[in-house]
Structure formats: C-alpha cells, structure tokens
C-alpha cells in the first residue's frame, strides 16, 4: 500500500530565506507527482506536476524535483515571502489503479 | 481562470439530518472527484466519476452517502443521516480525461459541522 509522507509537519522560517519541503513515497510505480498549496479554509491549488519520466519542473520561485527510484520529491521555494505561508501537500498518481494518494502536508509559516 | 464551483461554503446540521453538497466542475473536465478532508490530514477520496459513470466508490460509506452526476456535468453528494464523525471539509475536484498529464483543480470546499 502506497504511503506518502511529508516531514516536517510544520515549518517556520524568516522572510527572504530559501527553503525545501520534502515528500517521500513508498511505491515508486507512479504516473506523476503533484504539489499543491492550501490556504486555511480553502481548497487546494495545483502548483506543479512532474511526470514520472521528468526530474524537475519550475514555475517562478518554485522548483519541484522528483527522484522516483528513491521515492522522494522536494519543493524548493526561493526568496520566501509572507504570502507563501500556507500548507503544502504532495500527491502521487499510482500506475496500477490511477488512485491519487495525498500526504498530510507541511504547514509553512514565513515570518515577516 | 475557470474554477470549480462548490456550494454551500458552510453547513451546520444536527445529527440524523440530511445534507447535500453541490459541485460544478470546470467545463470540459470529464473526471470529477469528491474528497473528504479532516483538519491536519490530506484529502481522502470518496467517489470518482468519469462523465456520468462512477469509476471508484470503494471508500464511500454507502449506507449513508450517495453521489450522482446525472448529465456528466455537475454533481451532488448527499449524506443521510449525518453523524458527528462526518464533520469535515468536503472538496470537489475535476480534471481532464487525460489524468496522467492534467493537474487536479479543486473547489473551495464545503465545511460541514454536525452537532
């Protein structure tokens, strides 16, 4: 059974710092991995989607990498801003049954 | 940018009552999902539709939950009777038919409180 883990559960960093969020998964038979942002009381917003054949995707200050063989993905946020404060979740789509498995998220707080 | 619409945003109901949630996906999105999210957890799938057909309802508590997407467009999720443990955020999401290359788009959810 696929397990998606995000550590740490919460993170606080000063504004302006670069930071890395981690996502690990136990079963590497995935189609893709997605990173989402969720603001309090809101739905999830898709940030980046990485296909299993890709190593990374970039969007603005965000860069997501994928190492499928080791079951790891990272989301790099450059020059963090208070507006980046949110919960970040990763999710994988499984090869065998198309199921989407979410992690529990990392709650990020950028200190002004 | 097109959005997934959900209503209501908040719902408070007493246990044993019936509740219903509505979702209108992005136009052209064949796949529609209903998720339940408990605070501090990731979303968990309740039911997945492709057009009007259910493709996965293995995690839907069918004794009290039902979902339909009659015309393959908007969808309704119903709970009857509601229980205290049903309090959660109910999220609707949609994607293009090619789910492997298309990101999920979520609505803002319905926050259900059962008293």
Tens-place pLDDT, residues B77-90: 999 999 999 999 99
Among the listed residues B98, B97, B100, B79, the one whose alpha carbon sits nearest the alpha carbon of residue B88: B79
Residue B112 pLDDT > 90, yes or no?
A: yes
A51: burial class by Cβ within 10 Å (0-12, 13-18, 19+)? middle
How many other C-beta atoms are found inside a 10 Å radius of the C-beta of residue B38?
Answer: 13
CB-CB: which of B4, B40, B103 is closest to A49?
A: B103
The residue-averaged pLDDT of A51-68 equals 96
Alpha-carbon gap, residue B44 to A99, rounded angstroms: 10
CB contact under 8 A, B99 and A4: no
The model's confidence at residue B72, banded by pLDDT at 50, 70 and 90, is: confident
Two structure tokens written together for B9: 């945003």
The CA distance from A9 to the nearest CA of chain B, in Å, is 9
Residue with tokens 């080791």: A70
Selected residue with higher pLDDT from B114 and A1: B114
- Most A CBs within 10 A among B6, B40, B104, B112, hence the mutation to make, goes to B104
Enumerate the residues of chain B whose CB falls inside 8 A of the CB of residue A44. Answer: 43, 91, 93, 104, 106
The number of C-beta contacts closer than 8 angstroms across A and B is: 57
The model's confidence at residue A20, banded by pLDDT at 50, 70 and 90, is: very high
Residue B107 pLDDT > 90, yes or no?
A: yes
The residue-averaged pLDDT of A45-54 equals 95
CB B32 within 8 A of CB B94: yes
The number of angstroms, rounded, from the C-alpha of B53 to the middle of its chain's C-alpha atoms is 15
The mean-pLDDT minimum among A7-16, A81-90, B96-105 falls in B96-105
The length of chain A in residues reads 112
Enumerate the residues of chain A whose CB falls inside 8 A of the CB of residue B93. Answer: 43-44
B68: burial class by Cβ within 10 Å (0-12, 13-18, 19+)? middle
Torsion of CA B79, B58, B109, B3, to 10 degrees: -130
91-110 of A, contacting B, C-beta below 8 A: 91, 93, 98-100, 102-105
Q: How far is CA B89 from CA A24, A58, A103, B70, in A?
A: 25, 30, 16, 23
The CA distance from B16 to the nearest CA of chain A, in Å, is 25
Residue B100 pLDDT > 90, yes or no?
A: no
Q: What is the DSSP string of B95-107?
A: E-S-TTTS--EE-
5-34 of A, contacting B, C-beta below 8 A: 31-32, 34
Write down the pLDDT at residue A65. 97
What percent of chain B shows pLDDT beyond 90?
Answer: 90
The CA distance from A85 to the nearest CA of chain B, in Å, is 15
CB-CB: which of B41, B99, B107 is closest to A43?
A: B107
Average pLDDT over chain A, rounded to an integer: 95
A51-57: long-range contacts, CB 8 A cutoff, minimum separation 24: A51/B100, A51/B101
Sort strands B19-24 and B10-13 into parallel, antiparallel or unpaired: unpaired
The residue-averaged pLDDT of A85-100 equals 93
Alpha-carbon gap, residue A50 to A34, rounded angstroms: 6
Alpha-carbon gap, residue B34 to A100, rounded angstroms: 12
Among the listed residues B59, B57, B84, B58, the one whose alpha carbon sits nearest the alpha carbon of residue B68: B57
How many other C-beta atoms are found inside a 10 Å radius of the C-beta of residue B108?
Answer: 19
Write down the pLDDT at residue B1. 66
Q: For chain A, say whether B7 makes contact (Cβ under 8 Å).
A: no
């Amino acid at each position: 059974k696929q397990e998606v883990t995000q550590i740490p559960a919460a993170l606080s960093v000063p504004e302006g710092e670069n930071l890395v969020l981690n996502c690990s998964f136990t079963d590497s038979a995935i189609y893709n991995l997605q990173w989402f942002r969720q603001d309090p009381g809101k739905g999830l917003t898709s940030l980046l989607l990485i296909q299993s054949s890709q190593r990374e995707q970039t969007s603005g200050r965000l860069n997501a990498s994928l190492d499928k063989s080791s079951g790891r993905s990272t989301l790099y946020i450059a020059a963090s801003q208070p507006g980046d404060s949110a919960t970040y979740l990763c999710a994988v789509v499984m090869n065998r049954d198309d199921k989407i498995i979410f992690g529990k998220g990392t709650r990020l707080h950028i200190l002004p | 940018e097109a959005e997934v619409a959900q209503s209501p945003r908040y719902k408070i109901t007493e246990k044993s009552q019936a509740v219903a949630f509505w979702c209108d996906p992005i136009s052209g999105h064949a796949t529609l999902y209903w998720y339940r999210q408990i605070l501090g957890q990731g979303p968990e799938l309740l039911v997945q539709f492709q057009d009007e057909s259910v493709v996965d309802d293995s995690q839907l508590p069918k004794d009290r939950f039902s979902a339909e997407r009659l015309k393959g467009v908007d969808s309704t999720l119903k709970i009857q009777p509601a229980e205290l443990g049903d309090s959660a955020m109910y999220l609707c999401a949609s994607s293009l038919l090619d789910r492997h290359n298309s990101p999920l788009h979520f609505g803002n959810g319905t926050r259900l409180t059962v008293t």
